[in-house]
Amino acid sequence: MDLPKFVVSTCLCLIAAATMRAEEGMWLPNAIPAEALKAKYGFEGSPALFERLQKAAVRFSTGGSGSVVSPAGLVMTNHHVGSDMLAKLSTPERDLLETGFHAHALAEELPCPDLELNILWSIEDVTERVVAAAKGSADPAAAGAAKRRAIAAIEDESEKTTALTSEVVTLYQGGRYHLYRYKTFRDVRLVFAPETAIAFFGGDADNFEFPRFDLDCCFFRIYEDGKPWEPEHFLAWDADGAQAGELVFTWGHPGSTNRLYTADHVAFMRDVEEPANLRRLWRNEVKLQTFMGRGAENARIAREDFFGTQNGRKSTQGLLDALQDPALVAGKRAEEAALAARLAGRPEAAQFDRGRALVTGSLAAWRRLAPDYFALERRFRGGDLAQIARMLVRLGAESRKPSPERLPEYGDAGRASLEAMLYSPAPIHVELEIERMASWLAGLAEERGLDDALVVRLLEGQSPRARATALVRGTSLGDVGFRHAVAAMNERELAECADPMIRFVLSIDAAARAARKAWEDEVDSPQRLGYADIASARFAAFGDSVYPDATFTLRMSYGTVQGWTSTSGEAIPPFTTLGGTFLRAEARAGDPAFALPASWLGARGRLQADTPFNFVSTNDIIGGNSGSPIVDADGEIVGLIFDGNLDSLAGDVVYDITRNRATSVDARGMLEAMRVVYGATALVDEMTKPVQPRR
């Protein structure tokens, strides 16, 4: 059987030396592939340029990326990254997702209730300290626990010393540990967003497709001490935009990839993990669609959940389609055979074999432990009120321990972020909460059976919907003041608390903790040790020039602006135009997903129709990169990442330069639309002049 190009090139990557294929890679900001960039493109970036790009890159607590784009703390991201805030700031009378938003003055900018932005300030390699904590421990569970304690201690010490948010990042699945320090901002305000109708033009039908015609942008402003932040580093705009064939860079926060997984692990994803994920997403999508169909207000409050579920279902299906090509796992096995041959006769060969055995053993534990772990801990999806109850129940118990002994999310280093979520004044919608809880409980009953001991305990003799209704309507956790009161309770007071949601969470917390510990001991810890061994073997064979898997931390990727040829032989050009948006709407007349907002219809005659609107490039991206800036060789903005094409959905496990494409809003189309359609001239001037913000 002939192997596809992406498999052949993957094997060649390992067989040929340590240099990666051009365009592939999500590179650490302190490990830029300078030689490859110079050899292929003649590009030599200065330390000053890389520092500016690093310190202008923003990580959103909602799960996306952004960038600082003015000297007054203006931050650019995607509409779909900001949509959670738009929903929280909306009311039945003022739906910002439908109408969009434009603050004409600073006083009109809307404070965001629980949004946190982080900018990476420094990186320190702490691998030796973390590894030393587990030295001499032959038991994977004990070694894993020792490393977690060391990581918590490092984070706490760093935060107390520097006052910067500190996070130890696990790289190469445990082969390296780096301490990332962030400047954190929690006074963030909404400045501008278009209507969802143009930000997500084409809806689910066009999602992960190209050509695209989306104004998927949103702007916030960082405040410090009640005033717009004045950053040292921000990005300028390239008035000429990107050109076909031009070298461009992405600086953003890709969420998670598994490209360094063993062949057995990838096969496990194909046969077990992803099919289960897809079934869950399909079920949730149908449930939400039914809920939304009950009325306009239901549709409004569930819209973000529904869009997120649709997006997850389509991306998971795309990944599974790629995994189910037999050649993909065959290619992974060829990679491992090539690496084993390279290590033959060296001490690292035994290390490589030991690592693979640990990973394979952890997958058997995964099958055994997953039902309880997912039900009680990892997918505890009973809604916001249930999550708040769990945080409160665990906050008191964990706070009585030394920080390094706590569950990581309750350590001193993350306390401020945790409390920002816990005491958020964002609205909680009772009917949607009942739907979430009922769907979660019903899902467990379907999977485990109504007579299952856990299901019986959770339902207490009621149907899933009746139990959900009693819990949600009976709790007082929607009141932020009550949350503070619960957080102040001692152990006895909490145990006697009459709130039904608190009692519900208390009733299963011991079992949930036990499921989590078993998972950490028998799945996570062996995998970390196994992949650390594999990483060491890879380093011995190729050096450390291979990039690590994505971890929702800052990465740089590079590529060129270019279209591709589809599997049917159709040539896909790299650019679309503003004028093409109206032609697309006309071609799909009658489909609500392609209905343009009135603001665009009224501005059609004033827009420059040939202005580039969206474009594609070969930059290597994944979920989490949404909102990343695309910059040219001078570090100036030419676009805004918002999507990938269908072929890019395999990017979790493999990159194929022939068809993988990142999709961006073109800077020229964005600025033209903001000026002409929305009259946001002052905002455009602030970014492109630049000038101080409007007072």
| pLDDT at residue 692, rounded to an integer | 53
| pLDDT at residue 167, rounded to an integer | 96
Closest to 687 measured CA to CA, from 640, 625, 643: 640
CA atoms within 13 A on the CB side of 371: 12
Domain-located, residue 68: yes
Checking 49-54 for CB contacts under 8 A at 24+ apart, the result is 49/635, 51/233, 52/233, 52/235, 52/635, 53/235, 53/249, 53/251, 53/556, 53/631, 53/635, 54/29, 54/120, 54/251, 54/554
| pLDDT at residue 539, rounded to an integer | 86
End-to-end CA distance of the chain: 67
Lowest mean pLDDT among 5-14, 86-95, 389-398, 593-602: 5-14
Q: How many CB atoms lie within 10 A of CB 279?
A: 13
pLDDT band at 381 (very low <50, low <70, confident <90, very high): confident
- Residue 635 to residue 131: CA distance in whole angstroms: 37
Evaluate if residue 638 carries a pLDDT over 90.
yes
Domain-located, residue 675: yes
- Residue 662 to residue 249: CA distance in whole angstroms: 11
| pLDDT at residue 22, rounded to an integer | 63
The residues, ordered by sequence, that sit 6+ positions from 642 with a Cβ below 8 Å of its Cβ are: 78, 80, 214, 216, 626, 627, 663, 664, 665
Give me the domain span that covers residue 573: 5-116+186-259+548-688
The residues, ordered by sequence, that sit 6+ positions from 244 with a Cβ below 8 Å of its Cβ are: 561, 562, 574, 575
Average pLDDT on 372-381 reads 91
Domain-located, residue 591: yes
Domain-located, residue 70: yes
Rg over alpha carbons for the chain, rounded to the nearest Å, is 25
> Does residue 597 have a cis peptide bond before it, meaning omega lies within 30 degrees of 0?
no
CATH number for position 668: 2.40.10.120
Evaluate if residue 12 carries a pLDDT over 60.
no
Q: 472-507: per-residue pLDDT in tens?
A: 999 999 999 999 999 999 999 999 999 999 999 999
Helix (H/G/I), strand (E/B), else coil: 205: helix
| pLDDT at residue 484, rounded to an integer | 97
- Residue 268 to residue 254: CA distance in whole angstroms: 23
pLDDT band at 11 (very low <50, low <70, confident <90, very high): very low
Evaluate if residue 6 carries a pLDDT over 60.
no
pLDDT band at 567 (very low <50, low <70, confident <90, very high): confident
pLDDT band at 270 (very low <50, low <70, confident <90, very high): very high
| pLDDT at residue 307, rounded to an integer | 93
| pLDDT at residue 388, rounded to an integer | 97
Average pLDDT on 136-152 reads 90
Are 148 and 413 in contact by the 8 Å Cβ rule? The answer is no
Q: 55-96: per-residue pLDDT in tens?
A: 999 999 989 999 999 999 999 999 999 999 999 999 999 999
Mean pLDDT of the chain: 93
Q: If you ran DSSP here, which 8-state letter would residue 548 be given? A: P
- Residue 57 to residue 217: CA distance in whole angstroms: 16
Q: 502-557: per-residue pLDDT in tens?
A: 999 999 999 999 999 999 999 999 999 999 999 889 888 887 678 999 999 999 99
Lowest mean pLDDT among 132-141, 344-353, 587-596: 132-141
Number of domains in the chain: 1
Evaluate if residue 7 carries a pLDDT over 50.
no
What is the pTM (predicted TM-score) of this model? 0.92
Evaluate if residue 16 carries a pLDDT over 50.
no
- Residue 126 to residue 613: CA distance in whole angstroms: 44
3-state secondary structure 284-351: HHHHHHHHHCCCHHHHHHHHHHHHHHHHHHHHHHHHHHHHCCHHHHHHHHHHHHHHHHHHCCCCHHHH
Average pLDDT on 404-427 reads 92
Cα dihedral 263/264/267/268 (nearest 10): -140
The secondary structure of 565-616 as a DSSP string is: E-TTS-EE-SEEEHHHHHHHHHHTTT-GGGPPPHHHHHHGGGS-TTSEEEEE
- Residue 9 to residue 14: CA distance in whole angstroms: 9
- The edge-to-edge listing of strands for the beta sheet with 247-252 is 555-560, 247-252, 629-631, 637-644, 662-666, 612-617, 575-577
The residues, ordered by sequence, that sit 6+ positions from 589 with a Cβ below 8 Å of its Cβ are: none
Evaluate if residue 43 carries a pLDDT over 60.
yes
Beta bridge partners of 223: 228
Evaluate if residue 601 carries a pLDDT over 70.
yes
Domain-located, residue 42: yes
Domain-located, residue 442: no
The proportion of the chain whose per-residue pLDDT surpasses 90, expressed as a percent, equals: 88
